[in-house]
């Protein structure tokens, strides 16, 4: 596995602290996101756990989905399915969004193949078609980098610890 000095895990150019990692396979690993996928509404700050999002990442640094080997592709989706099923139940969600942004013009901000796994609830979108629009729009109405704040390592480590318990 290509790694960054001092770190076992790499996400594109970023070193990943092992405390963020909650699930691994021989070909990939799962982490909690440094930022939630959407801004956390003030009235839901106490329910932050419900706004969680996860990334499942190939061990090998691969920029595009088509460049994964067949084994890597299978592993990525089998593990995403397993993780999704458990986090959906854990968050008492009713649905999941699995997303891959493949290439720079798709909105991919880290050039490394990864699957976003997002637990969803009925109240997430008034109109379900807004989900697609939100994924396709590039910050038209929100400056997400201002509204979505980086979490501390302690916050991410605690969340990852909770997820690790789901798989033990």
- Give the residue carrying structure tokens 């789901």: 166
Distance CA 69, CA 73 (A): 6
Distance CA 108, CA 6 (A): 26
Set 14, 36, 114, 116: catalytic member: 114
Active site residue 91: no
Q: Which of 20, 37, 136 is nearest to 11 (CA)?
A: 20
Where would I find the beta strands (DSSP E) of the chain?
9-11, 14-16, 21-24, 28-32, 54-58, 95-99, 114-120
Q: Are strands 28-32 and 54-58 parallel, antiparallel or unpaired?
A: antiparallel
Catalytic machinery residues: 114
């Amino acid at each position: 596995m290509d790694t960054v000095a001092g770190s076992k895990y790499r996400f594109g150019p970023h070193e990943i602290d092992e405390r963020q990692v909650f699930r691994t396979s021989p070909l990939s690993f799962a982490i909690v996101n440094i930022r939630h996928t959407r801004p956390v509404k003030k009235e839901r700050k106490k329910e932050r756990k419900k706004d969680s999002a996860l990334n499942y990442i190939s061990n090998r640094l691969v920029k595009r989905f088509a460049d994964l080997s067949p084994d890597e592709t299978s592993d990525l989706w089998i593990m995403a399915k397993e993780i999704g099923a458990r986090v959906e139940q854990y968050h008492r969600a009713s649905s999941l969004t699995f997303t891959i942004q493949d290439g720079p013009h798709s909105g991919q901000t880290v050039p490394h193949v990864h699957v976003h796994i997002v637990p969803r609830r009925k109240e997430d979108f008034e109109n379900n078609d807004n989900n697609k629009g939100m994924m396709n729009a590039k910050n038209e109405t929100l400056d997400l980098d201002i509204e979505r704040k980086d979490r501390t390592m302690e916050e991410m480590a605690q969340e990852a610890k909770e997820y690790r318990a789901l798989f033990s």
